[in-house]
Amino acid sequence: MSAAQRLHQYLRDARRRRGVDLALTLLPWLTPVALLIARWHGMAPAWIALLVGLCLIGAIAWWHGLRLDTAWLIRRLNALRADMDDSADLLFAREEGLSGLQRLQQARLRQRIETAPATELRPAWSRRRSIVSLLLAAFALAALALWPAASTPAALDRLSPSPQIAAAPGQPRLIQQALRIDSPAYTALPPRNEPSLEGRVAEGARLRWTLRFQPQPSAVALVFHDGQRLTLSRAGEDWSAQRVMMKSVLYRIEATAAPQAQTRRLYRIDVTPDRAPQLRVLEPDRGLSLMTPGQKAWPLAFEASDDYGLADNARLRITLAQGSGENITFREQFVSVRGSGGARLKRYQHRLDLAALGFAVGDDLIVQLAVDDNRAPKPQSALSPSLILRWPADLGSEATGIEGMVKTTLPAYFRSQRQIIIDAEALIAQRRKLDGEHFLKRSDEIGVDQRLLRLRYGQFLGEEAEGEPKLPTSDSEQTPDDAHPAEAGAAAKTEAHDDHDDHGHAPDAKPPVFGEEGSVLEQYGHTHDHAEAATLLDPQTRKLLKSALDEMWQSELHLRQGHPQQALPYAYKALAFIKQVQQASRIYLARVGPELPPIDETRRLSGERKGLARRGDELRAATASDPTLTALWRELEPGARGAASASIDYAALERWLREHDERVPDPLAFAAALAALRDQPECASCRAQLRGLLWPLLNRPAASVRPRDGGDASDRRYFDALQQARP
């Protein structure tokens, strides 16, 4: 054997020894692991776990042996063989890169490897580690064997005594029963046993019935109220079957030759559906928020709850609306938000960087959070209401009409305040050119305009007007600078009416037009349209409008005193409040196109009268919308017995119940009452119970034409005389 072959054999034997040594240390732990899985999940998963464990140990041992490489072998040869002269590395070196002396030493080492007897280079066995691992595994195996098995499937499936039912000799009688309920994994509910064969279960739970009869019947089946049958299979002395429950059911146990009292008994299973998550907005505290000066971030906080559990992450949809008029653009993105808290109650928090999103003046930022629960295989979702952050446009820009997604309310009264400011600034600029009397008169005129504007805004807060002047509603209709002072003075001298019982109306008012509600109210009543409209404003808008009125009052005070320069700061503040009211009245609307039905051009101007009813058609009796329930109601009248009860079509009623399950508040109670009447046709209480459940389901009778009353004897003589007098 050459030196290279012998060195390769040394390395291969060392790797095998090291892998087997590690495998012997890990193998004892397979037994307790397999036993643990078998006790909780059954034998099949235990065998699978055992095979997977063997493969895993083999892979670990093989990888652990590969860690012995050529460097390890060189160190091992230098340590155990003195004839290597600490030059074992030359055995693996290339001859081209060696000097003459190194080649001579390499040849000597190879000759010694070939001629010398084989050397034991394999690592020693880890006996101590293997013994400790074996003892610990044995201790774990003993602990599992002695641990009580109170929650194992076998304990859950143990039978309970069944209620005793009288039976004739030879009739199969149910003596023991058990109902095992395995809830879906996402609910995290433990399996349980219901001895009464009834209960409330989660949607998607797997139910397993185990029944024992004495004597044994030839066949056993579960018959549900919707007509489905579930046949039980026999294993030894027990009959068993299983089914996944998706909705509430009533069922009975049918066994061959069983007593009638046992077969008629109904059992009820109520299925609790999984509710969708409940989502609540914590921050901000309103749906529409306005951008504050210097704001760089927008904090958001939500709270979600679910009956079984929520997903760890939620999705935050961010929509940025930019532009105005017909040039509105939308940019949408999604951000994952991780929740904190328990499985059933989580809190989601996130801060939006407004600069990173490109939020600018006049933009709207709309966010909405979507949360999923842990329902499998298809989770349920909940969506929060839309939250809007609005950056108001500049005071100099105006929104007119409906621009895309922004609707402006009260547009006619948001321009006069700026005109008052313009007039006041123009008056201050002309002060040197005007004498004192003329300057005071012009300032007083502007103050009158400010007063009229304040009164008009006050009507939106429910205040009574001090007169009925016609106020300009736009910049184009504003009073010019050279308007005659008598116009403003006449309006200023209009007296207010404080008493609602004595309203002054102009004697030359326009006469009312017959049929016009407004004309009648104008002459004989008094309307308070603006006072009623005040209730349509939210508290924040009313507060802003009240602040604007206060600033207008201060502006009016200084203007009437001839100090327009002192009135300007208050006028500017009033304009700022008015602009906030305007921005607060903007409503986020979904931009969708009209969905109109298509026009059928073939029907236009065709002259077809097909399908039109003739005027001479006689009236026909209306048919009931649901004849099945109407017929049952009549058959269940207290006087109906015998033949009426026998004529009830129970199959049709059960079919109706399956098709209209959503109309019945408690379908199982209706099915139970129907089954009780079918089993006991002469039972008066069963008939009354079913009739009471049927009453809320009946539809309102259709409208019909009642025949004319024939009248009494004198009326008939009068009608007969009219008939005889007819030519």
State pLDDT tens for residues 532-578. Answer: 444 456 677 788 888 999 999 999 999 998 999 999 999 999 999 88
Question: Of the ranges 23-32, 262-271, 480-489, 577-586, which one carries the lowest mean pLDDT score?
Answer: 480-489
State residue 639's pLDDT score. Answer: 63
Identify whether the C-beta of residue 417 lies closer than 8 Å to the C-beta of residue 395.
no
Strand stretches in 354-438, DSSP E: 364-372, 381-383, 387-390, 402-403, 406-407
Weakest mean pLDDT among 315-324, 498-507, 636-645: 498-507
Q: What is the pLDDT of residues 692-713, one digit of tens each?
A: 888 888 777 666 667 777 778 8
pLDDT of residue 623: 63
Peptide bond into 377 cis (omega under 30): yes
Per-residue pLDDT at 244: 93
More confident residue, 1 or 175: 175
- Residue 251 has a pLDDT of 92
- The whole-number average pLDDT for the span 281-310 is 91
What are the tens digits of pLDDT across the range 273-289?
A: 999 999 999 999 888 88
Instruction: Find the mean pLDDT for residues 345-371.
Output: 91
Are the C-beta atoms of 207 and 238 separated by less than 8 Å?
no
Question: 152, exposed or middle or buried, with CB in 10 Å at 0-12, 13-18, 19+?
Answer: middle
- Per-residue pLDDT band at 325 (split at 50, 70, 90): low
pLDDT at 158: 66
**Exposed e or buried b for every residue in 514-550, given b needs 16+ CB within 10 A?**
eeeeeeeeeeeeeeeebeeebeebeeebbebbebbbe
The percentage of the chain sitting over the pLDDT mark of 70, rounded to a whole number, equals: 77
Give the residue with greater pLDDT, 523 vs 248. Answer: 248
Rounded-to-integer distance, Cα 127 and Cα 421, Å: 100
| Helix, strand, coil tally for the chain in percent (to 5) | 45, 20, 35
pTM: 0.47
Least confident of 167-171, 259-263, 377-381, 636-640: 636-640
The strand pairing partners of 350, in sequence order, are: 300
Res. 394 pLDDT band, cuts 50 70 90: low
555: Cβ contacts below 8 Å, ≥ 6 apart: 420, 447, 450, 567, 568, 570, 571, 574
Q: Which residue has the higher pLDDT, 8 or 225?
A: 225
- What would the mean pLDDT of 615-621 be, rounded to a whole number? 63
- When pLDDT is averaged across residues 370-374 and rounded to a whole number, the result is 92
What is the pLDDT, as a whole number, of residue 613?
63
Cβ count within 10 A of residue 596: 6
- Exposure string of 205-241, with b = 16+ CB inside 10 Å and e = fewer, is bebbbbbbbeeebeebbbeebbeeeeebeeeeebbbb
Write out pLDDT tens, residues 435-469: 888 899 899 989 888 888 888 888 777 654 444 44
Q: Kindly state the average pLDDT of the residues 247-257.
A: 89
Spatial contact of 332 and 318, defined as CB atoms under 8 Å apart: yes
Residue 246 CA, chain-centre distance (Å), reads: 21
Through-space distance between the first and last CA atoms of the chain, rounded to whole angstroms: 147
Compute the CA torsion angle 635, 637, 639, 641 (nearest 10 deg): 40
Closest CA to 11 of 134, 149, 144, 113: 113
